[in-house]
């Protein structure tokens, strides 16, 4: 055997030794499935696991995370959207295989498409104008997501040539025209021209929602002051003896909450060593023991304030705003431009959007408000449905009522069980410090706790 062959076999052995080990157990908890993941510590491994679970529309109800030396030991309590355990054996095997091989990639379906990343000042009708420009330039929108927050908008749009059905050549004059027209649309009233990016993907691995977080972060959407009555409560304190910064976050529980928080910590170059996540009623309590990638805790007041603001923004970006409208109809050229034009002409602002086209069927979701961010008059919604098509456009609840009822019912039981473990003293934010370490110790994930 040649030296190069030995080297390859050794590399394969190292990979196999460091592959995550996954155990999925339905017998531990009466109302949720427990997913246990043991893996070698590496950058982004926690985010990958959380991302995989949330992309499958699994609700992470509770979690314990620990990094002991060079090894991660994570435990997630998950349920489906209706608050039930996972019973589909095919889904369970897929979760195990995806985590163990680390080959999970949500963006595999974007092969051969052109990706447009947009960031700018939000205004009523902006998305309608963007979709109209793309329709005029004969670009078919295959998938897209758009978020708005603090007067800013970030969007990621996958398009293809409307005639050939293939990606648009990155070096063509057409790409320059698309980029130029979109940049003009995103130009703020004060003349500031925001960054617009265009790239061609061939099996790229960009995760859309993580990229939206990154775009918003780069656009500094977190700098605007939050409403103290509705903003997430975040505190950052240093645990000097252990060299950690302890980040506590309290807010209303929702889907993908943990993903949004871990995504932001990762993008800000903070490493999570220990964490505990739990819910009481409809409120989520998250506690993280972190260090910066340079090995130091938060070491200045400006850094602490910036971390607090960024975490508040991460939670707020996905907070449900306005009325949820769902469009399901046969796709056709200019459909999005036509539908969003009707919304714009009725003075509605799109606070968030999710666009998807598969097998000739368009399935689009819009969260809409009036121009001032308030709820919409039901008569206006009725008029819009009549114009677009009552059978095509429907008004939906943000989350199934059955899910909320099931979650609240179980969490009320957990609240009584966890009452003695909670720290009182009239603190605004519940500290989970001792509870984190105690649970990790009982699970055998750490040798001692402080």
Q: What is the pLDDT of residues 87-125, one digit of tens each?
A: 889 989 888 888 877 544 444 456 778 888 898 889 999
Nearest Cα to Cα of residue 34 among 61, 71, 65? 61
The CATH class for the domain spanning 114-223+320-396 reads alpha beta
Question: Is 14 in contact with 62 (CB distance < 8 Å)?
Answer: no
Least confident range of 66-80, 191-205, 298-312, 318-332: 191-205
Residue 227 is predicted with a pLDDT of 60
Q: Does 233-317 match 114-223+320-396 at the fold level?
A: yes
Question: Is 385 in contact with 339 (CB distance < 8 Å)?
Answer: no
- The percent helix, strand, coil of the chain (3-state, each to 5) is 35, 30, 35
Domain boundaries, the chain: 5-101, 114-223+320-396, 233-317
Residue 34 is predicted with a pLDDT of 94
d(CA 381, CA 448) in angstroms, rounded, equals 58
Residue 113 is predicted with a pLDDT of 84
In this predicted structure, the answer to whether residue 376 has a pLDDT above a threshold of 80 is yes
Alpha helix segments (H runs only) across 299-419: 301-317, 335-345, 378-388, 401-417
Q: Which CATH architecture has domain 233-317?
A: 2-Layer Sandwich (3.30)
Return the C-alpha torsion angle 355, 357, 363, 367, nearest 10. 0
Domain 5-101: CATH superfamily is ACT domain (3.30.70.260)
398/30: higher pLDDT: 30
Global pTM reads 0.80
Residue 19 is predicted with a pLDDT of 72
Q: How many CA atoms lie within 13 A of 8 on its CB side?
A: 5
Residue 106 is predicted with a pLDDT of 45
What mean pLDDT do residues 215-224 have?
88
Instruction: Give the model's confidence band at 188: pLDDT under 50 very low, under 70 low, under 90 confident, else very high.
Output: low
Residue 15 is predicted with a pLDDT of 52
Residue 428 is predicted with a pLDDT of 37
Q: In the 8-state DSSP scheme, what is residue 226?
A: P
Dihedral sign computed on CA atoms, order 412, 313, 298, 269: positive
């Amino acid at each position: 055997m040649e030296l190069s062959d030995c080297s390859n076999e050794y590399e394969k052995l190292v990979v196999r030794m460091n592959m995550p080990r996954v155990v999925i157990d339905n017998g531990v908890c009466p109302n949720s499935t427990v997913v246990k993941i043991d893996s070698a510590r590496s950058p982004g491994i926690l985010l990958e696991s959380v991302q995989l679970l949330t992309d499958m529309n699994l609700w992470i109800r509770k979690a314990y995370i620990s990094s002991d030396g060079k090894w991660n030991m994570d435990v997630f309590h998950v349920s489906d959207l209706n608050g039930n355990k996972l019973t589909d054996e095919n889904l369970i095997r897929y979760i195990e295989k995806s985590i163990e091989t680390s080959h999970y990639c949500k963006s595999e379906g974007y092969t051969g498409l052109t990706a447009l990343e947009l960031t700018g000042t939000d205004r009523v009708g902006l998305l309608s104008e963007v979709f109209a420009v793309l329709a005029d330039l004969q670009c078919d929108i295959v998938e897209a997501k758009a978020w708005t927050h603090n007067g800013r908008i970030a969007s990621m749009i996958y398009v293809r040539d409307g005639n050939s059905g293939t990606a648009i050549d990155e070096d063509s004059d057409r790409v320059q025209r698309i980029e130029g027209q979109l940049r003009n649309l995103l130009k703020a009233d004060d003349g500031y021209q925001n960054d617009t990016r265009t790239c061609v993907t061939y099996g790229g691995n960009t995760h859309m929602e993580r990229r939206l977080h990154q775009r918003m972060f780069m656009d500094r959407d977190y700098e605007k002051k939050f409403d103290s009555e509705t903003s997430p409560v975040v505190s950052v304190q240093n645990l000097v003896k252990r060299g950690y910064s302890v980040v506590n976050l309290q807010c209303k529980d929702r889907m993908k909450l943990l993903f949004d928080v871990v995504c932001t910590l990762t993008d800000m170059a903070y490493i999570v060593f220990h964490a505990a996540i739990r819910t009481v009623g409809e409120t989520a309590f998250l506690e993280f023991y972190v260090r910066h990638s340079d090995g130091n805790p938060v070491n200045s007041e400006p850094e602490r304030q910036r971390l607090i603001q960024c975490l508040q923004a991460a939670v707020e970006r996905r907070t449900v705003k306005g009325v949820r409208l769902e469009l399901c109809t046969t796709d056709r050229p200019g459909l999005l431009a036509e539908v969003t034009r009707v919304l714009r002409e009725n003075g509605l602002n799109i606070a968030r959007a999710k666009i998807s086209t598969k097998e000739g069927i368009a399935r689009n979701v819009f969260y809409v408000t009036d121009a001032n961010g308030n709820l919409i008059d039901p008569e206006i919604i009725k008029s819009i449905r009549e114009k677009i098509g009552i059978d095509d456009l429907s008004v939906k609840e943000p989350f199934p009522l059955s899910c909320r009822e099931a979650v609240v019912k179980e969490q009320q039981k957990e609240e009584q069980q966890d009452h003695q473990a909670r720290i009182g003293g009239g603190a605004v934010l519940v500290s989970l410090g001792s509870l984190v370490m105690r649970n990790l110790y009982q699970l055998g994930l750490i040798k001692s706790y402080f």
